[in-house]
Amino acid sequence: MNAIAPQVSSATPLPSAAELDRSLRDASPAEVIAAALKAVGRDKLALVSSFGTESATLLKVMADVDPAIPVIFLDTGWLFEETLAYRDTLVATLGLKDVRSIKPAEETLSREDPERDLWFSDPDACCRIRKVEPLTRALKPFSAWLNGRKRFQGNARADIPVVEDDGARLKFNPFANVSREELEAIFVRAKLPRHPLAASGFRSVGCMPCTSRTAEGEDERAGRWRGRAKTECGIHTMKSS
């Protein structure tokens, strides 16, 4: 079913994150996305996706609600070729109508990472210029965003609400409540294609230098920034403006 994007008057006050979180606490992912659309309208809502190993599931649920919701993809300059190909596969498979690939500012890269080794010397700074700053710019026109974090991923994600306020806009986490088994069921039911690297042991895929395979029994995000204290890139802790 494709929802018709509601027209939201600029004079309509947005419901608070706390109110929405209360009313959507037990809602399905599709109901959360439909509620986000209703709250702000399609022109003011974006979904942020890494086109990683689990991304197809949220994109599928979104496409069933409205495939024209803008999707922001951060092309950091360090992604695997397989991820770029997977983005194109999912755009075609799901009929996504508005995927925007966002790149870091060239002048910032030349100034702060001329040798492309910042990921090694200062990964927080690298994530800032390649992910956080470009996303902050890309989100400026929007009043709300959707993302695919799950509580079962643990660490900083263990307690995420369904709806929160990131300091500048509403942030919807439609998969906050879902289990790993439910995600797998979406993959199977919709016959979704897998990320090309999933079959070779990559259970969470980000940038090339900061992604490694995970061993049996390891946490699925253990391969990200392996050997460092870092577990998040910063886009979910930023206070955007």
Least distance in Å: CB of 51 to ligand SF4? 14
67 vs 77, beta carbon nearer ligand SF4: 77
Strand partners of residue 48: 72
In the block, tokens 């930023």 appear at 238
Give the interface with ligand SF4 as residue ranges (CB under 6 A).
Answer: 76, 78, 119, 123, 126-127, 130-131, 206-207, 209-210, 233
Choice between 60 and 203, CB closer to ligand SF4: 203
Token output for 218: 């390891």
Q: How far is the CB of 75 from ligand SF4 (least distance, A)?
A: 11
Nearer to ligand SF4, 193 or 234 (CB): 234
Nearest residue (CB) to ligand SF4, 193 versus 209: 209
Please give the distance of CA 225 from its chain centroid, rounded to a whole number: 18
Closest distance between ligand SF4 and the C-beta of residue 171, in Å?
A: 20
Contacts 24+ apart (CB under 8 A), 163-168: 163/17, 163/20, 163/21, 163/24, 163/32, 164/17, 164/21, 165/16, 165/17, 166/238, 166/239, 166/240, 167/238, 167/239, 167/240, 167/241, 168/139, 168/239, 168/240, 168/241
Q: How far is the CB of 128 from ligand SF4 (least distance, A)?
A: 8
Instruction: Identify the active-site residue in 126, 127, 210, 233.
Output: 233
Q: Which residue is nearest to ligand SF4 (CB)?
A: 207
Q: Does the annotation count 233 as an active-site position?
A: yes
Task: Report the alpha-carbon distance of residue 191 to residue 225 in Å, rounded.
Answer: 31
Query: Catalytic site residues?
Result: 233
